[in-house]
Amino acid sequence: MNKAITLALTGASGAPYALRLLQSLVQADYRVYLLASSAARVVLKTEQQQDWPGSPRELSAYLCRQYGAKEGQIVACGKEEWFSPVASGSAAPKQMVVCPCSMGTVSAIANGASDNLLERAADVVIKERGQLILVPRESPFSAIHLENMLKLARLGVTIMPAAPGFYHEPKSIEDLVDFMVARILDHLGIEHELTRRWGYGQA
């Protein structure tokens, strides 16, 4: 476990993407620093009927059990845990994914708010010129959303909207989720077998 990544969940719809991504990162033997906003917890309850423990320590243990992770492999951090490694360029993982990413968090990141650990962690990855991937979900996008995303894209942030394709003939919700998660893993450079690749297995 010598690779680390930050995974942040916010209050946009799309909790199943985040859970599948977490599972894939654990399987790929990454240490995962996990950040979840208050709204992300509401969405998790609504979409997945999951009620995560409030304290970071309990949440870490709960998720490690849930995903068969090694002890310390999933490190949940509180929203004002300013001494977490993700809060400083000297210790933060170089890769971070915000999945799903609300328009509120897109705005906060685009404006460098750094008002909680999640926003600060994203700010750190941008300033350190690491890899930041946002998985926004909203429909339609307003000009505010689009301007914020354009600003971030120009800074090198990858904007990867939760918009699964249908050309792999999905049969289930899991197939749609895997489509998105596979694309995220591709961008992170993590091998996986979640979906068939374009051009392979076509008639």
Ligand X SMILES: Cc1cc2nc3c(=O)[nH]c(=O)nc-3n(C[C@H](O)[C@H](O)[C@H](O)COP(=O)(O)O)c2cc1C
Binding residues for FMN: 11-13, 37, 102-105, 137
Residue of 31, 30, 71, 35 lying closest to 52 (CA atoms):
35
Quote the least distance from Cβ 160 to ligand X, whole Å: 15
With CB atoms as reference, the residue minimizing the distance to ligand X is: 11
Residue with Cβ nearer ligand X (74 or 108) = 108
Asked if residue 81 binds ligand X (CB under 6 A), the reply is: no
Scan residues 131-170 and list those touching ligand X (CB under 6 A).
Answer: 137-138
- Regarding 42 and contact with ligand X (CB under 6 A), the answer is yes
Q: Is residue 105 at the binding interface for ligand X, with CB under 6 A as the rule?
A: yes
Q: State yes or no: residue 195 binds ligand X (CB under 6 A).
A: no
Q: Which stretch binds ligand X (CB under 6 A): 70-78, 96-104, 153-161, 170-178?
A: 96-104
* Residue of 5, 43, 135, 181 interacting with ligand X (CB under 6 A): 43
